[in-house]
Structure 1
């Protein structure tokens, strides 16, 4: 994964908030009726509502997180659902830690 894309993704407080919200989807999106937010992911519309931003703004932030590999996006019917990629996040944090020790 391109480290500059990952660093860009982490450089935004909004994107960090999205990752924090998605870390505990049951707590923040338990009202999602279309699919289990923990198993399937969270609908982009609900993420936009949680951020109090327009759908296109949320979509742009989510796309940057997807490009960085920190979330996966899966479509179901007319909706898109987002889920954290825990492995990618852990690998990035480990890489960052190694860089800071040099």
Structure 2
């Protein structure tokens, strides 16, 4: 995994907000009718609306999160759905903690 891409992904408050929203899809996107938000993911259009940004802006942020491995994107008909990959996020946080540890030898 490219750690510099992951660091870049985490360096944006908008992308952090996306990850927080996707952590609880039922709470934030329970009104999504096209697919189950928990099982299938959340439509990119709904994420853009929740963020209050234009679709192209949201798509760019989501693409960076996808490149970092923090979300997966799945297409269904004409829509794309995003889902957090908690395993990758936990792996990143473990790596970061290890990198910043006082115990780590320089």
Q: Which bin holds the TM-score, normalised by the shorter protein? A: over 0.9
The match for 2:70 is 70
Q: Is residue 80 from structure 1 mapped to residue 98 from structure 2 by the alignment?
A: no
CA root-mean-square deviation: 0.3
> In 2, distance between residues paired with 1:7 and 1:59?
18
The match for 1:28 is 28
Structure 1 SS opposite 2:40: coil
Q: CA deviation at 1:73?
A: 0.1
Gapped regions of structure 2 (runs ≥ 5): none
Q: CA deviation at 1:37?
A: 0.2
* Structure index of larger Rg: 2
- Flag the structure with higher helix content: 1
Gapped regions of structure 1 (runs ≥ 5): none
> In 2, distance between residues paired with 1:75 and 1:3?
26
> In 2, distance between residues paired with 1:86 and 1:39?
14
The match for 1:15 is 15
Number of aligned pairs? 102
> In 1, distance between residues paired with 2:79 and 2:72?
14
Using the size of structure 1 for normalisation, the TM-score is 0.99
> In 2, distance between residues paired with 1:86 and 1:18?
13
Q: CA deviation at 1:71?
A: 0.1
